[in-house]
A = this chain, B = another copy of it.
């Protein structure tokens, strides 16, 4: 089960994990201000009164990623934003992998705690949708989580807490151990609020200069063209917004939850 049964899930426990669930952490908030504009950066460089800490480093890293994507996060750039020499970071973070781990944990810590006294399905549903909102605020995070997962099997501490809570909800809701196990696998990455779409739905500004003409597309891809045409017309505008991602996410989520509920009551 997720590789945790071989003792490989004993993640290192680090203090920065214990953070509230009231939105962005203090470290992230202060770092946003720090990297918010160039004047502040220069000031920070001139007067590094605050002592460096793992929390400040992680906050700056998250802010950089939120603003410029994960490629904007490098040891050198974090150091620059903090007005510090790159090597200074290595006193608080072993290497870049540990930095990414810390960033993931800070994000996962933002997910709302589970509701209490409600049926399992509503509780799980709300929590997953909360996780989705958090990851929509930090679009880089799901890719970091996924890359980290492949590199090292032991989940980070905050992810462990999250999973523990999810398993508890299912067990309390009457799921057998086996069905709980299968349920976790079935929901997969949706547990953390992201479903990997094969194609991005973002509004691409560039209209694809070397695109084949529509007739050729319709001939080559008749079924896709039909689908695209129907959805475009349904929304009443040719350049309207794309799919309702929220609806599609909930559609798939409910398909799974309803199926699990059926299996739960059938045994």
Q: Give Cα A106 to B178, complex, Å.
A: 38
In the complex, which residues of chain B have a beta carbon less than 8 angstroms from the beta carbon of A177? 226-227, 230-231
Task: Let me know if B243 and A204 touch, CB within 8 A.
Answer: no
Instruction: Pick the residue among B8, B189, B210, B227 that contacts A195 (CB under 8 A).
Output: B189
User: Chain A: interface secondary structure?
Assistant: helix
Q: Give Cα A249 to B187, complex, Å.
A: 10
Question: A50-93: which residues lie under 8 A (CB-CB) from chain B?
Answer: none
In the complex, which residues of chain B have a beta carbon less than 8 angstroms from the beta carbon of A13? 212
Q: Give Cα A232 to B177, complex, Å.
A: 12
**Cβ of A256 under 8 Å from chain B:** yes
Task: Let me know if B221 and A197 touch, CB within 8 A.
Answer: no
Task: Let me know if B200 and A153 touch, CB within 8 A.
Answer: yes
Instruction: Pick the residue among B12, B189, B203 that contacts A196 (CB under 8 A).
Output: B189
Question: A200-242: which residues lie under 8 A (CB-CB) from chain B?
Answer: 200-204, 207-208, 210-212, 214, 217, 220-224, 226-232, 239, 242
In the complex, which residues of chain B have a beta carbon less than 8 angstroms from the beta carbon of A187? 252
Instruction: Pick the residue among B181, B196, B201 that contacts A3 (CB under 8 A).
Output: B201
**Cβ of A37 under 8 Å from chain B:** no
Most buried by B among A9, A171, A191, A239: A9
Copies per complex of this chain: 2
Task: Let me know if A223 and B168 touch, CB within 8 A.
Answer: yes
Instruction: Pick the residue among B149, B198, B227 that contacts A199 (CB under 8 A).
Output: B149
Q: Give Cα A153 to B4, complex, Å.
A: 35
The chain B residue sitting closest to A202, CB to CB, is: B153
The chain B residue sitting closest to A195, CB to CB, is: B188
Query: Given A186-B252, A208-B8, A260-B255, do A2 and B150 touch, yes or no (CB 8 Å)?
Result: no
Task: Let me know if A149 and B200 touch, CB within 8 A.
Answer: yes
**Cβ of A248 under 8 Å from chain B:** yes
Query: Given A1-B228, A149-B199, do A255 and B256 touch, yes or no (CB 8 Å)?
Result: yes
**Cβ of A143 under 8 Å from chain B:** yes
Of the listed stretches A19-27, A41-49, A115-123, A155-163, name the one at the interface; the rest are far from the partner chain: A155-163
Q: Give Cα A228 to B194, complex, Å.
A: 25
Task: Let me know if A256 and B260 touch, CB within 8 A.
Answer: no
Which residue numbers of A lie inside 8 Å of B, CB to CB?
1-10, 12-13, 139, 143, 145-147, 149-150, 152-155, 159-160, 163-164, 167-168, 171, 177-178, 180-182, 185-189, 191-192, 194-204, 207-208, 210-212, 214, 217, 220-224, 226-232, 239, 242-243, 248-249, 251-252, 255-256, 258-260
